[in-house]
Homo-oligomer: A and B are copies of this chain.
Amino acid sequence: MNRRQHEAGQPIPAAEQGGCLADAIRPFHVMAILARARELESSGRSIVHLEIGEPDFPTPEPVAAAATRFLAGGQVRYTPAAGLPELRERIAAYYAERYGVAVAPQRIFLTPGASGALSLALAVALSPGRRVMLADPGYPCYSNFVRLYSGDPHAVPVGAEQDFQLNAALCRMHCGGDVPVAISASPSNPTGTVMRTGVLRELVEWFEAEGGILISDEIYHGLEYGGRAVSALEFGQHTFVVNSFSKYFGMTGWRLGWVVVPEAYAAAVERVAQNIFISAPTLSQYAALAAFSEESRAELERRRRAFEARRDFLWGELVKLGFGVPVAPSGAFYIYADCSAFAEDSAEFAARLLETAGVAVTPGKDFGAQSPERYLRFAYTADIPVLQEAVGRIRRFVTG
């Protein structure tokens, strides 16, 4: 046979034989920044990290305590594929309390992180080649996920005039000839912008009228600084809503997310979950029950205010320095700042900023093809004294 000759016992990886799914997945440019930052640090340089999309706060104490208590029981077995019934109910109650929306627990699926939630939603939303509209700039994993599932990611350029968010008119224009499918994200990574209520309402209603599929990524909900972010579920029950315990609830390493699905999809989603996850991490699910306690929520509100203060500080200072922040960063912990006053290429600027000033940020080109050379993403996942140090360094860098 030997159709595929190998030399010196080295098989030719399929990845090099013109095509595997993973080929479509592009590396993050920030990884090079991170690697270089670590190199500099290990040579003794001080680096301020504003590139990291992970809250710096520890797991809320009541959550860790709940995990410890559960562990003392000794049994950490699979949960049902859809998740612990009591946690599904607790999340349903959260939708009622926070958003005034009735969501049946049967529509809520616990997943290994929001990544798992996206997997479930895409598995029922996609067929091979189906277009998925994505805001550009946006979270880069979306397009990679879509390609992995043999879908066709379609970048929809969005700018300051759209608050860097999708809307119904844009989706009408870009949906192509098939069932319209989109992933929206509010608050957005990398821009920190929140979709206006009317825009979200129109978006949800348009998808519903078209019989399309909208996946609303709400993983930064709770981290909002200009009034409560509105959920897509407030405007209809036919949207997929992805959320997570990672960001607002401060549980990144616990790897626990959830997806709310339209009722008609619940059976299919459960089948997929049984096959591709078996279940979400058990201990994380028991721990997460405590994330809704009064004590936890008080702590999370203190953290939200701390993030808000950091945002106010960093936003103000960046603007004073001459960066452009065209839309208020009202959520998450990101500022997407225009650095074209200082450089023609933000990636080159980011590399020099790291090398010369010891400040790590993420270049715009990790987030799409829509003028990425103008932008840098600053993550305020560090405390104000650290942000002050960063600002001082940046000031000396751009004025020196």
Q: Is the CB of A11 within 8 A of B208?
A: yes
Kindly state whether residue A42 has any CB partner on chain B within 8 Å: no
List CB contacts (< 8 Å) of A270-323 with chain B: 271-272, 274-284
Report A241-280 CB contacts with B as 1/0, cut-off 8 Å.
0000000000111110000001011001101101111111
Residues of B within 8 A of A115 (CB): 275-278
Q: Is A19 an interface residue (CB 8 A)?
A: yes
A149 at the interface (CB under 8 A from B): yes
Cross-interface CB contact of A148 among B22, B262, B274, B276, cutoff 8 Å: B276
A15-45 to B contact mask, C-beta < 8 Å, 1/0? 1110111110111100100000000000000
Find out whether the CB atom of A212 lies under 8 angstroms from the CB atom of B54.
Answer: no
| Chain B residues with CB below 8 A from A11, complex form | 207-208, 210-212, 238, 262
**Of B20, B116, B212, which contacts A126 at CB under 8 A?**
B20
Q: Is A150 an interface residue (CB 8 A)?
A: yes
A170 at the A/B interface (Cβ < 8 Å)? Answer: no
Nearest CB in chain B to that of A126: its residue: B21
A211 touches B21 (CB 8 A): no
Q: State which of B119, B254, B271, B278 has its C-beta within 8 Å of the C-beta of A113.
A: B278
**Distance in Å from the Cβ of A358 to the closest Cβ of chain B?**
22
A9 CB within 8 Å of chain B? yes
| Contact segment of A64-72, A223-231, A336-344, A369-377 | A64-72
Given contacts A28-B274, A210-B1, contact A253 B283 (CB under 8 A): yes
Stretch of A75-83, A186-194, A390-398 at the chain-chain interface: A75-83
Q: Does A58 contact B (CB under 8 A)?
A: yes
A128 at interface (Cβ–Cβ under 8 A)? yes
| Shortest Cβ distance from residue A382 to the other chain B in the assembled complex, whole angstroms | 14
A64 CB contacts on chain B under 8 angstroms: 71, 74, 76
Instruction: Chain B residues near A128: list those with CB within 8 A.
Output: 21, 128, 150
Q: At the interface, yes or no: A5 with Cβ under 8 Å from chain B?
A: yes
Chain A contributes a number of interface residues (CB within 8 A of B) equal to 93
- Expressed in whole angstroms, the Cα–Cα distance for A275 and B31 within the complex equals 12
- Which residue in chain B gives the minimum CB-CB distance to A125? B14
Contact B149 A21 (CB under 8 A): yes
Complex-state Cα separation, A111 to B398, whole angstroms: 42
| Chain B proximity of A178: nearest CB distance (Å) | 9
Q: State A31–B81 Cα separation when bound (angstroms).
A: 11
Query: Known interface pairs A20-B124, A283-B283. Does A276 touch B74 (Cβ–Cβ under 8 Å)?
Result: no
- Determine if B6 and A211 form an interchain contact, defined as CB atoms under 8 angstroms apart: yes
A31 / chain B contacts, CB cutoff of 8 Å: 274
Cβ contacts under 8 Å, A281 to chain B: 112, 253-255, 281, 284
A31 to B267, CA, bound (A): 12
User: Does any Cβ of B come within 8 Å of A385's Cβ?
Assistant: no
Closest 8 CB pairs of A and B: A253-B282, A4-B211, A76-B253, A11-B211, A150-B150, A58-B74, A144-B275, A112-B112
> Which residues in A have some Cβ–Cβ distance to B below 8 Å?
1-6, 9-17, 19-23, 25-28, 31, 54, 58-59, 61, 64, 67-68, 71-72, 74-79, 112-113, 115-116, 119, 122-128, 140-141, 144-145, 148-150, 172, 179, 181, 207-213, 238, 251-255, 262, 264-265, 268-269, 271-272, 274-284
Name 12 interchain pairs, CB-CB below 8 A, sorted by A: A11-B212, A13-B124, A21-B122, A25-B268, A31-B274, A54-B78, A59-B75, A64-B71, A76-B251, A77-B252, A112-B112, A150-B150
Further pairs besides A25-B271, A145-B275: 10, Cβ < 8 Å: A14-B127, A25-B272, A31-B274, A59-B75, A61-B74, A71-B71, A76-B254, A77-B253, A112-B113, A281-B281
